[in-house]
Amino acid sequence: MKIPYSIKIAVIFFLSTILYGQELRKNKYGLIVIDNPKIYYNLAAKDSSNILVDLQKFIPSIKLDIRYSTKNNFLGEPVYKSARAFLRLPAAIALKKVQHELNLIGLGLKIFDGYRPYSATVIFYNKVKDTIYAASAYTGSRHNRGCAVDLTLISLKTRKPLDMPTDFDSFDIKAHSDYLKLPPNVIKNRDLLIGIMAKYGFINLDSEWWHYDFKDWKKFDLMDLSFDQLDKIDSEVYPNK
């Protein structure tokens, strides 16, 4: 028996609705989080701005110091299996422009963190139980959307970081971006970073001088794919790369 084309289409549509309906169910914190590589792939194929870009490949001159892949973070233990940094394509393009402009004055960027899988945010939240310094599992972080980046400035000559008010992830009041009881050069460095990031669409979080949200973060879904899963999708899409 020949099945009419319109019925075939209806069946395919029905099946895909079931698949999406199942995968996009809210988690126990009431959030929809993309944790299926196929759904991420489809979203990225539909709209390239959804692609999570590997910053080390996209901006080869960028320096990485991914603290959550080491013990040197507020948890005292590694959360990531590897030292990687990803951002959504428009944010990565904007960050490339920041790096270019900084390079002209002998400076560069050092990244502490970019895209953070949602499950890492849940780990932080359960440990800290404080939503000033850790995003709530009930909202997720802008890092989970691939639209937030933690970073500092380095000198290209020495490859060392410039003096900033505190270390990364400090809970000290000195980490607040309007804190003024600091040496003039420290204020100058901090304000230079905040200013150049703002110029390219990154808004500073006022309790953390190192944290910046990309202006369009609301457009992007919360994600929970590991760096390995992102690599796997990348190698399947570009097998000869």
Residue 216 or 234 with smaller CB distance to Zn ion: 216
**Shortest distance (Å) from residue 19 CB to Zn ion:** 33
Of 148 and 233, which CB lies nearer to Zn ion in the complex structure? 148
Residue number, nearest CB to Zn ion: 211
Of residues 134 and 196, the one with the C-beta less far from Zn ion: 134
Cβ distance to Zn ion smaller for residue 67 or 211: 211
- What residues line the site for Zn ion (CB under 5 A)? 150, 211
- Non-local CB neighbours of 104 within 8 Å, separated by 6+ positions: none
Q: How far is the CB of 113 from Zn ion (least distance, A)?
A: 6
To the nearest whole angstrom, how small is the minimum distance from the Cβ of residue 150 to Zn ion? Answer: 4
Q: How far is the CB of 144 from Zn ion (least distance, A)?
A: 11
